[in-house]
Amino acid sequence: MRAAEILEKEKDECAHLMTLEMGKPLKAAVGEVMKCATGCRYYAENARNSWPTKLWKRGEAQFYPLSSDWPYSGHHALELPFWQVFRFAAPALMAGNVGLLKHASNVPQCALKIEDIFRRAGFAEAHSKRC
């Protein structure tokens, strides 16, 4: 939910980055950011009922990864620099998984902004239990 709030609050800044780096029309860029916020909010509100891998303990839901210990990975196109990331990351994170993403090289400021949003939303850096 916090990621959705940040996206909504900073939609103009995020949209400006897309316009600056890839020439995306500002109105379309704002729409993309708002779509990302909607996606984050959807998974935050529906994750509890979406996956059967929850364990109730002291009244709290604890989610366990649906997959093996291996992260999901993806390489995403430049046309939708925010949406491609959030449509991939939001369900993966809510399911308890990690994602490994290689962002398009011609939208580096968008990639850094997305990283900043996830950090401020409270998602910590992944640390492997295998190391």
| Tens of pLDDT, residues 31-48 | 999 999 999 999 988 876
pLDDT tens per residue, range 70-123: 455 555 555 788 998 998 888 888 877 777 777 788 899 999 999 999 999 988
Q: Is 88 a domain residue?
A: yes
The answer to whether 11 and 131 are in contact (CB under 8 A) is no
CA 115, chain centre distance (Å): 9
Whether residue 126 lies inside any domain: the answer is no
| pLDDT number for residue 73 | 53
What CATH number has the domain bearing residue 55?
Answer: 3.40.605.10
Identify whether 131 is part of a domain: no
Q: Residue 72's domain spans which residues?
A: 2-120
Does 19 map to a domain?
yes
Contacts of 9 (CB under 8 A, 6+ apart): none
Query: What pTM was computed for the model?
Result: 0.77
**Burial (CB count within 10 angstroms: exposed 0-12, middle 13-18, buried 19+), residue 80:** buried
The token pair at 118 is 């996830």
Q: Which residue type, as a one-letter code, is found at position 76?
A: H
